[in-house]
Amino acid sequence: MHHAATRAIDRLIAVYAESHQHPANEFIHCICVPAIAFSLLGLLWAMHPLTALALTLASLVYYFILSTSFAIGMVLMSGAMLAVLFIMPPARILPASIAIFVIAWIGQFIGHKIEGKKPSFFDDLRFLLIGPLFVLGILYRRFHIAY
């Protein structure tokens, strides 16, 4: 693993974690961040499945630059999400994705109200891509997986 990339990911996760200290906010993010990722892929899939695949591949390139371990986790997570979209009835994908997207973002903002801090992406849009890594990092720490 490239040393500078390790420092970059550690720095990004640390900055993201600053506005995610409250246990309730962290819990909400562990549910809502994956839900938002799934719904975003669903919205893109509804436009055209190749659009969802292209965004997934582009984000995975960024994740591999930051951390091979995180990228592998994201390959597994995004693969599972794309598999669910593949087997879903096409007519259900758009309405389900819209509903999940709205509900999950409401959850996120409730979490930040509890936290008393604004979402990280208000300062830097990269944090929209770091949120899933923050959640994955919680899982990795629980199972003692290095990132």
Identify the pLDDT of residue 58: 97
The torsion defined by the Cα of 123, 125, 130 and 134, in degrees rounded to 10, comes to 40
Domain spans of the chain? 3-142
The pTM (predicted TM-score) of the whole model is 0.90
State which amino acid sits at residue 31: I
Pairwise CA distance, residues 47 & 70, whole Å: 28
Identify the pLDDT of residue 120: 83
Identify the pLDDT of residue 33: 96
What's the burial of 96, exposed, middle or buried (CB within 10 Å: 0-12/13-18/19+)?
middle
Identify the pLDDT of residue 5: 43
Residue pointed to by tokens 């999940």: 100
pLDDT, mean over the chain: 92
Dig out the tokens for 77 from the structure: 């997570």
- Reference 63, options 76, 51, 52; nearest CA is 76
For 16-69, the pLDDT digits (tens) are: 999 999 999 999 999 999 999 999 999 999 999 999 999 999 999 999 999 999
Identify the pLDDT of residue 40: 97
Identify the pLDDT of residue 4: 52
Residue pointed to by tokens 């899933």: 132
Coil vs helix vs strand at 105 = helix
Residue pointed to by tokens 């944090």: 127
